[in-house]
Structure 1
Amino acid sequence: MKNLLGTNVITQIGILVHDIEKTSQVYADFFGVDKPEAIVTDTIEKAQTEYRGEPSVARAKLAFLDMGSLQIELIEPDENPSTWREHLDQHGEGVHHIAFQIEGMKEKIQVLERANMPLVQKGEYEGGRYAYIDSVKDLKVMIELLENDK
C-alpha cells in the first residue's frame, strides 16, 4: 500500500473560531504561554487565493501556537467565500483541518484528486503554498498540504 502524501507526520491542526483574540488568550492561559500575535493573510494579489476553482478575495486572521512537534492554528475568516467561512457557517467552531508538510504540490493534488479527494482551496504565503483537500467523506476531516520553498 502506497502513502498518498509521502509522509505521515502531522505538522498542524487548524481550528476555526469566531473571535481569535479571545480564543488565543484562552489557549495561552490554558498552556501557560504568551498569547500569540494574530496575523492577517495576504490579499488576493499576493496570496492568489482560489476557492472552488475561482479567485477569492477571502482573508483570515491567523494565530499560531507551537506545541512541540505540532502547531495549533487558530483561524478567524472574513465574510468572503472560502473553505474557512463555509465550514464555520455550516459546522460552527472547531477543527477544520490537519496539515502535512509535503513536497511536489501539483503532483500530490493530482494523486489525491484521482483518489476522489478534490482540491477545495489553494493559495500562496510568504515562503510557500497551501492546498486544502476535501477528504472529509473518507477521512472525516479536511487535509491541508503545506509546501515550503527550498
Structure 2
Amino acid sequence: MAGGLLGTDVVTQIGIIVRDIEKTSQAFADFFGVEKPKWFLTDTIDKTQATYRGEPCYGRAKLAFFKLGNLDIELIEPDEHPSTWREFLDQHGEGVHHIAFVIQGMQEKITLLAGRDMPLVQKGEYTGGRYAYIDTVPQLKVAIELLEND
C-alpha cells in the first residue's frame, strides 16, 4: 500500500504540549529568528463536536503555529478540562504529544487503525476539516494525529 496504513508518509506537523504558550512561543521565535505567532483558542464543543475517550470533550487549548517549510510546529497549552492534551500534560509534563498527517477517508483510517490496536482517543471538527488523535504510543512511542481537510 502506497504510503503505508495512512496512504501518506509525509509528516505535516509536530505537536508539543506546553504549560505557558507565551513563554514557549517566544523561545521558539528566538531560536528560529522569526516573529512570535499569535495564539488562538480552540472552538467550543458546539462547533467542534469533539469527543475524548468516547465522551463529549469540553477541553479547549491555546494553539500557536510555526510554519517551517512543509512542517508546522504546533504549540498546545491545554485548559483544565479533560482532553488528550490535559491528560498528556498531567501524566508526562511538557513535550512532544503527536506527529500529524493529512489524510483522506477519516473514518476508514480510524477503523483500520483500531483494528491494529491503535484506538481513537479524541476527535473533532475545525473550520475546514476534522482531526483525530490515535493512541499509537505502544507501537510508535508517540501519538499520531489525522487531519482531513474539506
Smaller-chain TM-score bracket = over 0.9
Question: 1:56: how far off?
Answer: 1.3
Q: CA-to-partner distance for each residue in 1:8-58, whole Å, 9 max, x for gaps?
A: 000000000000011001100110101011000000000111000000111
Gaps of 5+ in 2: none
Instruction: Report how many residues are paired.
Output: 149
1:1-150 pair list within 5 angstroms: 3-149=4-150
Please report the TM-score for the alignment, with normalisation by the length of structure 1: 0.98
State the AA in 2 paired with 1:135.
T
- 1:94-137 CA-to-partner distances (Å, cap 9, x unmatched) read 00000000000000000000011000000000100000000000
Q: CA RMSD in A?
A: 0.8
Q: TM-score, structure 2 length as denominator?
A: 0.98
CA distance in 2, matches of 1:130, 1:39: 17
CA distance in 1, matches of 2:105, 2:22: 35
Measure the CA separation in 1 of the matches of 2:23 and 2:130. Answer: 28
SS at match of 2:90: helix
Identity of aligned residues (%): 72
Amino acid of the structure 2 residue aligned with 1:58: G
User: For 2:78 and 2:98, how far apart are their aligned partners in 1?
Assistant: 14
SS at 2:139's partner residue? helix
| Stretches of structure 1 lacking an aligned partner (at least 5 in a row) | none
Partner Cα separation in structure 2 for residue 109 and residue 49 of structure 1:
15
Report the CA distance between 1:146 and its aligned residue. 0.2
Runs of 4+ in 1 over 2 A off after TM superposition: none
Deviations 1:67-99 (A, max 9, x none): 111100000000000000000010000000000
Cα deviation for residue 139 of structure 1 reads 0.4
